[in-house]
Amino acid sequence: MTSATKVPWMRAFGVALICSAAALPAQKSARATLTPQQVEEIREAGIYPDARIDLYVKYLNEHVDTIRTLAKAGLAPSRVRKIDDELQTVAALTDELGSNLDQYSERKADIRKALKKVNEDLPKWQAAVKGLPANSTFEVSRADALESCQDLTKDAADMLAEQTEYFKEHKDQRGQERAEPQ
SS (H, E, C) 41-99: HHHHHCCCHHHHHHHHHHHHHHHHHHHHHHHHCCCCHHHHHHHHHHHHHHHHHHHHHHH
* Mean of all residue pLDDT scores within the chain: 83
Flag whether 16 is in a domain.
no
Mean pLDDT of 43-54: 91
Flag whether 28 is in a domain.
no
How many domains in the chain? Answer: 1
Flag whether 136 is in a domain.
yes
Flag whether 119 is in a domain.
yes
Element (H, E) at 152: helix 139-169
Mean pLDDT of 125-130: 96
Q: What is the share, in percent, of the chain residues with pLDDT greater than 90?
A: 62
Query: What is the band of 12 on the pLDDT scale with cuts at 50, 70, 90?
Result: very low
| Residue 141: pLDDT over 70 | yes
Can you give the pLDDT at residue 88? 97
Can you give the pLDDT at residue 1? 52
Q: How far apart are CA 124 and CA 126, in angstroms?
A: 5
Can you give the pLDDT at residue 174? 77
Weakest-pLDDT range from 19-23, 50-54, 75-79, 138-142? 19-23
Flag whether 53 is in a domain.
yes
Listed residue (44, 35, 67, 42) closest to 57, CA to CA: 42
Can you give the pLDDT at residue 75? 83
Flag whether 8 is in a domain.
no
Domain of residue 75, residue span? 36-173
Q: What is the share, in percent, of the chain residues with pLDDT greater than 70?
A: 79
Can you give the pLDDT at residue 26? 34
Can you give the pLDDT at residue 173? 76
Task: Kindly report the CATH number assigned to the domain that includes residue 43.
Answer: 1.20.120
| Residue 18: pLDDT over 50 | no
Flag whether 71 is in a domain.
yes
Flag whether 17 is in a domain.
no
User: Do the beta carbons of residue 178 and residue 109 sit within 8 Å?
Assistant: yes
Q: How far apart are CA 109 and CA 177, in angstroms?
A: 4
Can you give the pLDDT at residue 21? 37
φ/ψ of residue 33, rounded to 5: -90, -20
